Amino acid sequence: MRTPEQVREIVRLLLAEYPEAACSLDWRKDYELLFSVRLAAQCTDERVNQITPALFARFPTLEAFAGADVTEVEQYIHSCGFFRAKARDIVACAQVLLEKYDGELPRTMEELTALPGVGRKTANLILGDVFKIPGSTVVDTHCIRLSNRMGLVDDLKDPVKIEMALRKLLPPESSSDFCHCLVLHGRAVCDARKPNCEACCVRHLCRHFSG
């Protein structure tokens, strides 16, 4: 594990390295982010961004999604993979949001994860990016890999355990942005197969680099 001082410095340096870090999914309405994250499961954000303009144009409101034929939604999202389950979840989620929440996204982890197709990763993203709630910690594949490599956690693979460990370490006001930084750093520098340690701004603080 890194010391509290090392953790603070890792956070500071990565936030400085990626000052514009944000979710790479394109969205304008809150529910569009929710649906886009569902589409991004086992799929790239780039692919999702390619198909959502047509999807959101065809179903421009939450009411349109709630009344949609699931098979038609499938046609728009086919290239995202697992399209049948994703289409079913999106339509069902729209219906629940209208019936139970008057078309607004709920603001608690418990309520969000009760929605069709929504897990803790998605809920944390909504809480952090939409509602700006401190402490929101999105644990995706990049976060799992980098938090273990850097030594922020000790050989943890379970996303919930990593989330809880990071919540204890990270400054609450920076945790959401820091997780976005990990995604960008994982894509640009800390590759899954061959990390480019020489180009890493936190290599001197990283357990993997120091051995």
DSSP 104-173: PPP-SHHHHHTSTT--HHHHHHIIIIIS--TT-----HHHHHHHHHHTSSSS---HHHHHHHHHHHS-TT
Q: Cα–Cα distance between 52 and 27 in angstroms, integer?
A: 9
Residues annotated as part of the active site: 121, 140
Q: Identify the burial level of 106 via C-beta atoms within 10 angstroms of its C-beta, where 0-12 means exposed, 13-18 middle and 19 or more buried.
A: buried
Q: Cα–Cα distance between 128 and 123 in angstroms, integer?
A: 9
Q: Cα–Cα distance between 166 and 172 in angstroms, integer?
A: 10
